[in-house]
Each structure stands twice: as C-alpha cells, then as structure tokens.
Amino acid sequence: MPLINEKLKLMSCTEFRIFLKKLIKDRIEREWSSNFVDNMNFVIIPRMTIKRRYENKGIDLIKLINSSSYYQKVKKNVNTRGSLEFKDR
C-alpha cells in the first residue's frame, strides 16, 4: 500500500492542481472552484486528506489519476454531490 501513496506524493504541486482543475471542469468535483484549487495550500491540506475525501465519496483517487477508463466511468456515474452512484465502486 505505501507504493500507491507514493505515487500521489511524487506528483508535483502544479500537476496535482491541474488534475484537480480537470476534475472541476469535468464536473466530478462539484464543491470546489478553480480559484479555491489555485489558492490551496498543500501543507495545510495534505494530499492524503484530499485522497480520503474522495474515498469517502466512493472514488479511488489514485485509480482516477492512473486509469483513463476509470476516470470516464466516474465522470459518467458521479451525482450532484460528487459521489458515485453505481454499486460496484
């Protein structure tokens, strides 16, 4: 499991911000704005906290980053609260 978490840590802050903005643009992330992501401090809000936030919504953030098919599946099945709506999360 530590290797999976390392993948998230190895992304630069810029890459991670771009990825989060893509989530906003594709309407997977519905609670944050692009301005919020631009001003986000990754020291105060660690990446693992963001990862857990998505896990609570039924979304595997690492898989979302690494798998385009999973990304498309999430994009298609996310509800207005940003949570997945299908059984086999």
Domain spans of the chain? 2-77
Spatial distance between the Cα atoms of 29 and 9, rounded to a whole number of angstroms? 20
Confidence at residue 89, expressed as pLDDT on a 0 to 100 scale? 44
Does 2 score more than 50 pLDDT?
Answer: no
Confidence at residue 3, expressed as pLDDT on a 0 to 100 scale? 47
Q: Flag whether the pTM goes above 0.85.
A: no
**Distances from the Cα of 81 to the Cα of 8, 17, 18, 54, 84, angstroms:** 24, 21, 21, 11, 9
